[in-house]
Structure 1
Amino acid sequence: MNIASVRRPIIPPTPPRAPDDMSFFGRVAVLKQNMIATWGQRAYEEEVIKGRFFLHNSFILNQPDAIRHVLLSNYENYTRTPAGIRMLRPVLGEGVLIAEGHAWTHQRRTLAPAFTPRATANLVPHMTAVLDETITKLDARTSEPVDLRETMQRMTLEIAGRTMFSFGMDRHGPTLRNFVMEYGARLGRPYFLDMLLPVSWPTPMDFARARFRKRWTEFVAMLIAERRTMGKKDGAPPRDLFDLMDAARDPETGKGFSDAQLVDEVATMILAGHETTATALFWALYLLALDPETQEEVASETHGEHLDSMADIDRQKFTRAVIEETMRLYPPAFLVARAAREKDNAAGVEIGKGDIIMIAPWLLHRHEKLWDQPNAFIPKRFMSNEAPDRFAYLPFGAGPRVCIGAPFAQAESVLALARLIGAFRIELADRVPVIPLGVVTTQPDHSPLFRITRR
């Protein structure tokens, strides 16, 4: 894509690129702290990088046709790696995000009606209520530096709680955030034995993860029990995602979710709908603080209106482009790793049984052969007539396993950014560069403080 820009775009800071000749053990040492920092310049220039991972080959794919094959044409041949399962199962269980085969098919079919555009539109009032409250709270803090990352985490958690259960997260929010922080700080990081041993062989960290999972599932089950005490009036329309998920039935088998399955699905939706959206909004606010001119364009698009419907969200074309460009530069899921069940040929790449396939949106979105000025923040690239190749831009994945909640997340992100920038002018309180870390999601290495003023 060739992008013409009137002014020189900003290039946000990134971690140094690794030496291309870094040793395997050197990469393993860096990987636990920041996987993004394990990739060298070749990974941003070449279409396929072949390496070794213990007894098997490994491939980094930056070729859209090969990625299309792995994620769409022959997706059933590729399963999650042992390390990926170890990282996700303790918090997501057997939810739709990591289920495989018939279990995944059943879950996907059953959940689909809860995430249609119409269902999302019905949840917008929950979002706008939380945004109104957030803006009111920020109004009282215009005279002091503000941690907008924490604000976004609390806001998206409140939205997740209300859209899922129709109740606020004042009592439960701190506990839920503690679970997320605890897991990300230690248990959600890959260790050497996590990558070496098959899933059936527990590693020392797996025992700690199992203890975490017991406490976590008990907490989610308590939230579900509390929601069920609220009941549902016969004949009344669904008031939230829980109503939709609890009543959901597989259109082919007629089966719904067991209580244990519902816990895993609810956990998946709360975490996916809260942490990744909060992180994307933080990065969007950070970029707009670095780029005041683009910030003013976002503010002017709202025309000072109170946005409160899907029609309003759909009109925010430039704000949506800012969100899309933010997720290009800081994709929430920075890496998709798969293991081949059988031999395959992906657009000319010969893949053996057990080989590891890595599709890294972080690399793909910054690849020098796929994007013009790949490291620059240029939202208008998503408003041009030259759309990126569908398999060169993967903020929500692609193929049958594309994120089921993508429309919900996009609507929430656009609405929140438009409302916040329409209400406040933001700037950084300091100029210490914020470096992205690849740990579970694409996180900042620290939470900078912002100054906010009312427009």
Structure 2
Amino acid sequence: MNIASMRRPIIPPTPPRAPDNMSFFGRIAVIKRNMIATWGQRAYEEEVIQGRFLLHKSFILNQPDAIRHVLLSNYQNYTRTPAGIRMLRPVLGEGLLLAEGHAWTFQRRTLSPAFTPRATANLVPHMTAVLDETIAKLETRTNEPVDLREIMQRMTLEIAGRTMFSFGMDQHGPTLRNFVMEYGARLGRAHFLDMALPVSWPTPMDRARARFRKRWTQFVAMLIAERRAVGKKDGAPPRDLFDLMDEARDPETGKGFSDEQLVDEVATMILAGHETTATALFWALYLLALDPDTQEEVASETRGEHLDSMADIDRQKFTRAVVDETMRLYPPAFLVARAARDKDIVAGAEVSKGDIIMIAPWLLHRHEKLWDQPNAFIPKRFMSKEPPDRFAYLPFGAGPRVCIGAPFAQAESVLALARLIGAFRVELMDAAPVIPFGVVTTQPDHSPMFRITRR
């Protein structure tokens, strides 16, 4: 894909690339700190890299046709790895993101009506109300240092609370954020035994994760109980995601979710919905602060727009391209790892049962054979008449297991970025480069201070 540009695009900072001959134990040590920093130059140039992990072969796939095979054509042959399950099950339980087989089919069919474009459109007023409040608070903090990462986390958490439960998160938001921060700081980091042992063999970290899960599920169950206490008028249309999920029924069996299942589904939607969107918005604001000219283009597009409906959101073509380019450079899920259930052929290579397939959007989105100027911030590449290959750009995954909440997340991200940049000029006050690191999602290594001024 060739990109024409009148000015030199910015290239945001990244971690140094690992030596291609890094030892196994050296790589394991780096994984604990930053998975992104374990990949060497070969991973950004070659289509398939084959290696070994303990008793099994491993493959890094950067070839769209091979990725299509694993995520779409033969997706049933590939399941989550033990490490992936260990990282996610304590916070997501057996919700949609981790379910397999018939359980996944039931959940996907049952939840799908809650995430249609029409259902998302009905939730936009919740988003705009929170954005109005956020902008009003920011107006009192112009020309002083502000931590926009924290503000984005609070804002998206508030949106998640209102779209899920129709009530604000003033009371419970700090507790929920503490859960997220606690897990990411310690329990969400992969250790050697997490990757080496079967899921049925508990590791020392698994015991700590189990204690965390007990406290976490009790908290989510309490939120559900509070929402149910408010009730819903008989015959009234659903007013939030909880109504839609609580009333959802499998179109084939007529079954709905048990209370235990509903806890896992709500936890999945709140966490996946607020943390990934907050991180994407932080990176977008960081990039626009580095690139004032692009920031002004976003502001120009939003000028005069009301931005309070899906139709308004859909008109923000350039802002959408900025969001898309942000998620190319900083994909929320930087790695998708799968274990083969049975033998297969992928990109001409023999795959055996238990072999590990790694599809890393971080690598794929910066691959030198797939993108022109892969490390540069060029939003207009997503306004080209030649869109990227569907399996070369995976911010929300692909295939049957593509993220069910993608339309919601995209609408929220575009709306929030358009409203914020339309209201404020954003500048960096912190000169230190912000380095991405991978722990569950693509996080910044620190929260820089920004200055905002009213337009």
Question: TM-score, length-normalised on structure 2?
Answer: 1.00
Shift in Å at residue 304 of structure 1? 3.1
- 1:45-64 equivalences under 5 Å are 45-64=45-64
* Match in the other structure for 2:206: 206
Task: Tell me by how many angstroms 1:22 deviates.
Answer: 0.2
Distance in 2, matches of 1:109 and 1:412, equals: 23
Counterpart-to-counterpart distance in 2, 1:218 and 1:89: 15
User: Secondary structure of the residue that 1:392 maps to in structure 2?
Assistant: coil
- Taking only the aligned residue pairs, the percentage that are identical comes to 90
How much is the aligned-residue C-alpha RMSD, in angstroms?
0.5
1:436 and 1:445 in contact (8 A); partners too: yes
* Structure 1: distance between partners of 2:192 and 2:373: 36
| Aligned-partner Cα distance in 2 for 1:449–1:299 | 21
CA distance in structure 2 between the aligned counterparts of 1:418 and 1:412, rounded to whole angstroms: 10
1:125 aligns with 2:125: yes
Q: How does 1:124-273 map to 2 (within 5 A)?
A: 124-273=124-273
Aligned equivalent of 2:112: 112
Partner amino acid, structure 2, of 1:76: Q
Are the counterparts in 2 of residues 69 and 75 from structure 1 also a CA contact under 8 Å? Answer: yes
Deviant stretches of 4+, over 3 Å: none
Offset of residue 220 of structure 1:
0.0
Residues 344-386 of structure 1 deviation map (CA, whole Å, 9 limit, x = unaligned)? 0123232111100000000000000000000000000000011
Are 1:77 and 2:83 an aligned pair?
A: no
C-alpha separation in 1, matches of 2:155 and 2:220: 19
Partner of 1:32, secondary structure, is: helix
How far apart in 2 are the matches of 1:321 and 1:217? 37
Equivalent in the alignment of 2:66: 66
Structure 1: gaps of 5 or more residues: none
How far did 1:430 drift?
A: 1.9
Listed as ranges, the gaps of 5+ residues in structure 2 are none
How far the C-alpha of 1:143 sits from its partner, in A, is: 2.8
Q: Give the whole-Å Cα distance in 1 for the aligned partners of 2:305 and 2:248.
A: 36
Identify the residue that residue 368 of structure 2 maps to in structure 1: 368
- The equivalent of 1:3 in structure 2 is 3
Q: Which amino acid aligns with 2:173?
A: G
Q: Which amino acid aligns with 1:334?
A: F
- 1:305 Cα deviation from its structure 2 partner: 2.4
Distance (Å, rounded) in 2 between the aligned partners of 1:95 and 1:6: 47
Residues 305 and 312 in structure 2, CA contact (< 8 A), matched pair in contact too: no
1:267-287: CA deviations, max 9, x gaps? 000000000000000000000
Per the alignment, residue 277 of structure 1 pairs with 277
Letter in 1 for 2:76: E
**Distance in 2, Cα, partners of 1:7 & 1:349:** 42
How far residue 235 of structure 1 moved from its aligned partner, in angstroms, is 1.0
Task: State the aligned residue count.
Answer: 455
2:371 and 2:305 map into 1 onto residues whose CA distance is 35
What is the letter of the counterpart of residue 281 of structure 1? L
Correspondence for 1:384? 384
CA distance in 2, matches of 1:160, 1:304: 27
Aligned pairs for 1:385-404 (under 5 A) are 385-404=385-404
Q: CA deviation at 1:248?
A: 0.1
Q: Letter of the aligned partner of 2:61 in structure 1? A: L
Shift of 1:388: 0.5
Give the stretch that moved more between structures: 284-293 or 297-306: 297-306
Q: In 2, are the aligned partners of 1:306 and 1:419 still within 8 Å (CA)?
A: no
Q: Distance in 2 between matches of 1:369 and 1:131?
A: 39
Structure 1 Cα separation of the partners of residues 59 and 454 of structure 2: 49
- Report the Cα distance in structure 1 between the residues aligned to 2:206 and 2:166, rounded to whole angstroms: 34
Q: What whole-Å deviation, never above 9, does each CA across 1:294-339 have from its counterpart, x for those lacking one?
A: 0000000012323100000000000000000000000000000000
Q: How far apart in 2 are the matches of 1:305 and 1:72?
A: 39
Q: TM-score, normalised by structure 1?
A: 1.00
Q: Do residues 101 (structure 1) and 82 (structure 2) align?
A: no
What does 1:24-43 align with in structure 2 at a 5 Å threshold?
24-43=24-43
